[in-house]
């Protein structure tokens, strides 16, 4: 599905301009090599389990590890399933996340999978339930999931995939009396993370990390609207060198400011059951291939993504070869390819 571009609203005399931008390689699309720049200083080598690079880098950001610390933390990657509706406000913990994935759930709403590794905060939440979609999201880094639970069919599939998860009743979980149920389940993630021992090796890189100087020129990309359904669109704007989620539910002092926003167009099917309100539960298939869009530094670069299986890493390419995400904090939008849409301004 094409990406629609629009000119950001400015002077009253400025005309709105909308043009189609097809994700993928096309001649003259502005995704040529970047202007000649100084050699990259950030690591661009993808790291596999057991390998080390100099300097050591965090697997969820690609950023160098400082202060003599090791990139293999004392805990596995912790993924918090967080509500993403107005009932969740204020969300807590997103400002400490390394990476966030937004996925479609029932009712046309979305839910967040917030990844924590380099920094484990205290209180996070509200904590909500898992989906089968999470198998492809968390498996590449062998993450442990923090969740309020799941439907029996989902729990069975999560267990069959060998994914560890922790829910209410486990260490760290509590109910916040200032919130309404079921949006009042929180956890002290620092306590919950002690329930699992540290991984023996550094997790794989979640994305192919690189340097902004090596990005193709791309197109202007200061604003993004990622529409998951008629009921939900996530909006981003580029401010002070980073992307801000305009319609976030996060607390004002605890927001996730993204260095990059990565949009992956994905297939969505029926998970095979309904929620208590009778809504069919969708399942996002994060494997195979699809169109990709990377926003960084106020510009947008088109390409494709591939993922050989649920456990496999995400690979990105454009017509010049491997497309690397500049090291930093990244928000990934899993937008349905058939029913969603993406508009860039």
pLDDT in tens, 63-93: 999 876 666 667 889 999 999 999 999 999 9
- What does the alpha-carbon distance between residue 100 and residue 123 come to, in Å, rounded to a whole number? 17
CA angle 283, 289, 292 (to 5 degrees): 95
Which parts of the chain sit beneath pLDDT 50?
1-48, 51-54
Task: Decide: helix, strand or coil at residue 77.
Answer: coil
Q: Contact 84/249 with Cβ under 8 angstroms?
A: yes
- Indicate the pTM of the whole model: 0.85
Residue 296 in tokens: 């960084």
> Shortest CA distance to 324 belongs to which of 125, 44, 3?
44
pLDDT for res 319: 87
Tokens of 247: 């319609």
> Which H helix or E strand runs over 152?
helix 152-160
pLDDT at residue 201, rounded to an integer = 79
pLDDT on residue 47 = 47
Residue 323 phi, psi dihedral angles, 5° rounding: -100, 120
Q: How far apart are CA 94 and CA 128, in angstroms?
A: 14
pLDDT in tens, 114-149: 999 999 999 999 999 999 999 999 999 999 999 999
- Domains of the chain (ranges, CATH numbers): 78-195 (3.50.90.10), 206-344 (3.50.90.10)
Q: Residue 195 phi/psi, 5° resolution?
A: -75, -20
Residue 345 confidence (pLDDT): 86
Cis peptide before 306 (omega within 30 of 0): no
Whole-angstrom distance, CA of residue 40 vs CA of residue 43: 8
């Amino acid at each position: 599905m094409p990406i629609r571009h629009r000119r950001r609203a400015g002077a009253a005399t400025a005309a709105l301009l909308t043009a189609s931008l097809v994700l993928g390689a096309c001649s003259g699309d502005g995704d040529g090599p970047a202007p000649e720049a100084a050699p990259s200083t950030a690591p661009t080598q993808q790291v596999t389990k057991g390998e080390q690079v100099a300097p050591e880098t965090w697997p969820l950001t690609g950023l160098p590890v400082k202060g003599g610390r090791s990139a293999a933390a004392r805990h596995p990657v912790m993924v918090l399933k967080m509500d993403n509706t107005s009932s969740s406000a204020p969300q807590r913990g997103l400002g400490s996340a390394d990476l966030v994935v937004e996925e479609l759930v029932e009712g046309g709403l979305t839910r967040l999978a917030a990844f924590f590794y380099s920094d484990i905060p205290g209180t996070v939440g509200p904590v909500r339930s898992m989906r089968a979609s999470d198998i492809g999201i968390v498996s590449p880094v062998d993450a442990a999931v923090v969740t309020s639970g799941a439907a029996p069919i989902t729990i069975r599939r999560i267990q069959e995939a060998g994914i560890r998860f922790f829910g209410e009743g486990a260490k760290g979980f509590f109910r916040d009396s200032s919130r309404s149920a079921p949006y009042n389940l929180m956890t002290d993630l620092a306590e919950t993370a002690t329930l699992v021992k540290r991984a023996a090796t550094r997790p794989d890189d979640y994305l192919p990390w690189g340097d902004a100087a090596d990005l193709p020129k791309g197109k202007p990309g200061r604003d993004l609207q990622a529409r998951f359904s008629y009921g939900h669109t996530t909006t981003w704007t580029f401010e002070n060198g980073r992307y801000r989620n305009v319609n976030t539910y996060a607390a004002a002092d605890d927001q996730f400011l993204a260095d990059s926003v990565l949009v992956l167009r994905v297939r969505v099917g029926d998970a095979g059951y309904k929620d208590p309100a009778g809504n069919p539960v969708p399942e996002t298939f994060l494997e195979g291939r699809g169109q990709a869009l990377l926003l960084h530094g106020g510009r947008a670069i088109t390409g494709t993504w591939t993922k050989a299986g649920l456990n496999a890493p995400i690979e990105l390419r454009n017509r010049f070869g491997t497309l690397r995400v500049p090291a930093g904090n990244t928000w990934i939008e899993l937008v349905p390819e058939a029913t969603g849409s993406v508009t860039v301004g």
